[in-house]
Amino acid sequence: MRESDIVDAIRKYLKTVDGCFFWKEHGGMYGTAG
């Protein structure tokens, strides 16, 4: 499993919880990943 796969899985999970918080708190490569 690549790091990008893990990050993508985390982002998909956080979207079901509170994606906005994730985008605001973790910008950079995570915020612009897609």
Parse the chain into domains and list their residue ranges.
1-34
Residues 1-34 have pLDDT tens digits of: 788 898 888 878 777 766 555 555 555 555 554 4
Identify each DSSP E strand in the chain by its residue range.
none
Cβ contact 22:14 at 8 Å: yes
CA dihedral 11, 16, 21, 24 (to 10 degrees): 40
User: What is the structure's pLDDT at 7?
Assistant: 87
